[in-house]
Amino acid sequence: MDKHVVLSQTESKRPRFFYGYVVALAAFFTTLVMSWSLASYGVFFKPLATEFGWTRAMTAGALSLSLFVFGLLSMVTGRLTDRFGPRLVATVCGSILSLGYLLMSRINDGWQLYLFYGVIIAVGQSGGFVPMMSTVARWFVKKRGLMNGIVVAGIGVGIVIMPPVATHLIATYGWRTSYGIIGIITLVLLIGAAQFLKRDPNQIGHLPDGDSDAKPESTVPVTKGYTLGEALHTRQFWMLCATYFCYGFFVQPIIVHIVPHATDLGISTMTAASILSVIGGLSIAGRIGIGSGGDRIGHKPALVIAFLIAVIAMVLLLVAREVWMFYLFAVIFGFAYGGLIAIESPMTAQLFGLRAHGAILGVVHFHATIGNAIGLPFAGKLFDLNGNYQLAFLVFVGLSGVGLILVSLLRPIKK
């Protein structure tokens, strides 16, 4: 008899406590801590460039490399999570990430920035987003959008707390000591959180969502669905990849360049950092709101709404000059940004199932990081050429519109 049938027969009642919530909480803390590098780079940006005399394109290039390596290795860590589970992946990657921070406190040359931040920190971060989102997708079906939204809200919390914290640390101790402090805290928190992670509910005799009266989807074995090779032969896979390439091209460059852009217009460093924190705060609302909305209205309509809001935000950024306009932009953009990332994993599961969810999500998210890797130096280069970001922001308006069109055309796979 199939072990999943036996499981559904022996689960006579709902467990007193569903361990999936522990997994979700551990995944939330993991994404939160692993987001610190991206969330704080915009604050470290000018101190690094000023001390070593680097151009903005060159300084942004290290983050571009980091995001590319992160995306590339996310395909690997996604597959490793499918096979070995998230605990081992998060423990190893968390240790490497902490090492990267400590090495950043010792840099003296450009090649070290690209090696320590562009490669080592990226290796560590690859144990975060894809492994955590894929793990939570296995633990929840009816609440998949909501729980994925809560987990990825950790990134938003990181964006809220890290810019002002990093600003304070740099002002008090200097950027070198600040990287060392962040590295030590990272090691303790990530290793601790990783020990509570489990791959899927079958390991402890639970069904997804803690159900005893299972719905058809929740009794489907995790071996059902598309393999990565099968997904690669579908039009929907490449449309989803292109959609998230557009997302990556305009989202992460905004996160990194918004603080330098605001200070260029005469806004104080602390106020500019608070604008970034508002983006992070509203992204939490977007991740949970649009993520849970996807459970009710469908993940595709929720993704369409998120892209539409992003287009509005990009248009507003083109004309923003006053502090209040930047805060309004931060509210709109943050909500859209949170929703776009929250729907990525549920949309992937809806289209391709859970059989190779980590591997497939890894490839989809790799395309987002390719967009990051191109968009970051692209925006920096246009600034170096023109003395402002206006042309870059105009391109971001266009790409957010392309993303909206692509997701509007996305259809379920006909088997």
Tell me the pLDDT tens digit for each residue of 367-387: 998 888 788 788 888 888 888
- Residues recorded for the chain: 415
Cβ–Cβ under 8 Å, residues 156 and 383:
no
Rg (CA), the chain: 21
What pLDDT was estimated at residue 381?
83
- Identify the three-state secondary structure at position 143: coil
For 195, phi and psi rounded to 5 degrees?
-70, -15
Residue at 211 is within a domain: no
Q: Dump pLDDT digits (tens) for 258-304.
A: 888 888 888 888 888 788 878 878 888 898 888 888 888 888 999 99
7 within some domain: no
Residue 5 has pLDDT above 60, yes or no: no
Tell whether pTM > 0.85: no
Looking at per-residue confidence, does 208 or 321 come out higher? 321
Q: Answer for the pair 135, 27: CB distance below 8 angstroms, yes or no.
A: yes
- Tally of CA atoms within 13 A in the half-sphere of 199 that contains its CB: 18
- As given in the structure block, the two tokens for residue 217 are 């989807």
Q: Give a yes or no: residue 166 inside a domain.
A: yes
The domain of 192 spans: 16-202+221-408
Q: Are 356 and 231 in contact (CB under 8 A)?
A: yes
**Residue 138 counted as domain residue:** yes
Residue 78 lies in a domain: yes
Residue 204 burial (10 A CB sphere; 0-12, 13-18, 19+): exposed
- What 3-state class would DSSP assign to 225? strand
Q: Please give the pLDDT value at position 13.
A: 47
Task: Evaluate whether residue 75 is within a structural domain.
Answer: yes
Summarize pLDDT for 52-100 with one digit per residue, the tens: 888 877 887 888 788 788 888 988 998 888 888 899 999 999 999 999 9
Q: Return the CATH number at 99.
A: 1.20.1250.20
Give me the torsion for CA of 384, 386, 387, 392, rounded to 10°: -80
What is the enclosing helix (H) or strand (E) of 376?
helix 357-386
Distance CA 236, CA 299 (A): 14
d(CA 20, CA 202): 11
- What is the tens place of the pLDDT at every residue in 90-145? 999 999 999 999 999 999 888 999 999 999 999 999 988 889 988 888 888 888 88
Domain count, the chain: 1
Tens of pLDDT, residues 176-199: 999 999 999 999 999 999 999 988
The verdict on residue 1 lying in a domain is: no
pLDDT for 212? 56
